[in-house]
Amino acid sequence: MSAPLHGLVLTGGRSRRMASDKALLAYAGETQLDRAVRLLKAQGISAWVSVRPDQVDEPARARHPQIVDAHVDAGPSAGILAALAAQPAAAWLVLACDLPFLDEATLAHLIAHRDPARLATGFRSAHDGLPEPLCAIYEPAARAPLEAAVAAGKTCPRRFLRHSEVALLDLPRPEVLDNVNTPEERRSAAAALGGATVTRPVRVQYFALLREQAGRSEETVDTNAATPGELLDQLRARHPFTLPREMLKVAVNGDFAGWDRPLAAGDAVVFIPPVAGG
């Protein structure tokens, strides 16, 4: 009789290389956090979000049930341990939130080949053959040894899996767990996913110099741009805009927004040239 399985999305990473919150990065208009939650729910399991104590009130995370880290500076192991402690009789399918290529088939494969008699079930990395710790099922019995490893300062979950009794599977598709840590990797991921992404209609309004250069005051564009910044880059191919992005601001749905705000179908976007009131 195997332990009931829950899903845990890790979102506590500091994203130093990306310089922005990886959980909130969007591909095809869906944040990585929402995407991971959706993939878990598609397997019929509940989805929890692992957060650091200072992330509890962040709005995108607050929409989901949360498990708060108890360990400080233990990296992903802190989130895994907090989940195992919160529901000691449950097993946890742990997902990093920055796996844009992960798909339902891979998760279904993992669940179908789960071995509840081992401490964990996971995949072999397509790059180095080592266990992939952040798309893996951790059984209740993993709690005590992982706790001991963290207490000894060995916080790396990959190291833990290498030295434990785990079931390792080959990946159905080798690139499916490639993660995305830098803006460059993100751009190539977005390009690779481009063929599979659907475009969404977005309404763009133009004022002043941008209105004259676009030759219209508004248009609806079908775009796969995930953010206003990407949308602006795409629109430069259509219109002879001269103002650099540093001189523009952007508003989405009637208020100022960040260039990395995820875009959704039906959003109204306005690029704001330097103002000159008075």
Partner 1 sequence: MNAFAFSTAPIDAPALARGLADRGCGGFVSFEGWVRDHNEGLAVTRLEYEAFEALGVKEGERIVAEARERFGLTRIACVHRLGTLEIGDVAVWVGAAAPHRDEAFRACRFVIDEVKHRVPVWKKEHYVNGDSGWVNCERCSAVPSHAEAHAPHGHSHAQGHEHAEGT
By CB under 8 A, name the binding residues for partner 1. Answer: 205, 207-209, 211, 242-244, 246-247, 249, 251, 254-256, 270, 272-278
- Type of residue found at 108: A
Query: Which residue number, 182 or 242, has a Cβ lying nearer to partner 1?
Result: 242
**Residue 179 has what DSSP assignment?**
-
Q: What are the φ/ψ torsions at residue 7 (nearest 5 degrees)?
A: -110, 145
CB of 206 to partner 1, least distance (A): 10
Q: Describe the crossing of helices 76-86 and 143-151 by its angle, rounded to 10 degrees.
A: 140
Which residues does 268 contact at the CB level (< 8 Å), separation at least 6? Answer: 202, 203, 204, 205, 252, 253, 254
Q: How far is the CB of 18 from partner 1 (least distance, A)?
A: 22
d(CA 185, CA 199): 21
Identity of the residue, 112 or 275, whose beta carbon is nearer to partner 1 in the bound complex: 275
CB of 273 to partner 1, least distance (A): 5
- Closer to partner 1 by CB, 212 or 222: give it: 212
Do 67 and 86 form a contact (C-beta atoms < 8 A)?
Answer: yes
Residue 232, classed as helix, strand or coil, is helix
Q: How far is the CB of 259 from partner 1 (least distance, A)?
A: 14
Residue 129 or 244 with smaller CB distance to partner 1: 244
Q: Which is nearer to partner 1, 190 or 231 (CB)?
A: 231
The least CB distance from residue 1 to partner 1, in Å, is: 58
Q: Which is nearer to partner 1, 125 or 213 (CB)?
A: 213
What type of residue is 118? Answer: R
- The radius of gyration of the chain's CA atoms, rounded to the nearest angstrom, is 21
Residues in CB range of 184: below 8 A, 6 or more apart: none
CB of 184 to partner 1, least distance (A): 24
Instruction: Select 70 or 209, whichever has its Cβ closest to partner 1.
Output: 209
Structure tokens at 268: 């109204």
Judged on CB neighbours under 10 Å (0-12, 13-18, 19+), 24 is buried
Shortest distance in whole angstroms from residue 243 CB to partner 1 = 6
220 has which bridge partners? 203
